[in-house]
Structure 1
């Protein structure tokens, strides 16, 4: 099967708002958060069997909006890291110690941002897993 066009991916994302079609959800950051992608695939089927359709709706909605926040943050982090590494490479050659320090701090800050953006996603994943085991 060929790669999906961006509008087809978006259609899949919007389809996920309906739990019945959530099995074909294509999570935009599937490579970054495989745990969450697997939870999304499993959870709606389980929730329908156990009468948790409202919970499924709520979690799908939360993940839909979260993906709109987390993915841009991760993209921003990649841009920040690329820029910081460029600064480090450029000014290390010129001997600018202050700018090298600034570049390194930028890399550290971008990793902190990455961890902060991943925490809510993982918490939702663990919550779905907990519901999966207890219901």
Structure 2
């Protein structure tokens, strides 16, 4: 393997490891949602920590119930990060520079905003995260 490829592989692995450790730190600290605490409304991320806890216990229906949007978006974000790392190591153009990236990002933003709006309406209260048992 060429020296530059080894360096790129180590850099990509370091970035992925840092992202993973950041996620672990956030999960361990379990910070409260600033939007929920200041407005009383659920954001698109509310329930994600409890969703991850349910996933770690193997409770997939319970995890989906906590936050259906993040249940699908977080694995996709992980796949995207891994794909970017592979492209970086292979010296290929990053995905975020492709034509499709901005439209996909805008669709995800729209879906997140729509999910946030719906989960706060009484008719869609089933989208709200389950209350904590503390």
Relative to the length of structure 2, the TM-score reads 0.33
Structure number having the greater helix percentage = 1
Please say which structure displays the higher CA radius of gyration: 1
Which structure has the higher relative contact order (CA within 8 Å, separation 6+)?
Answer: 2
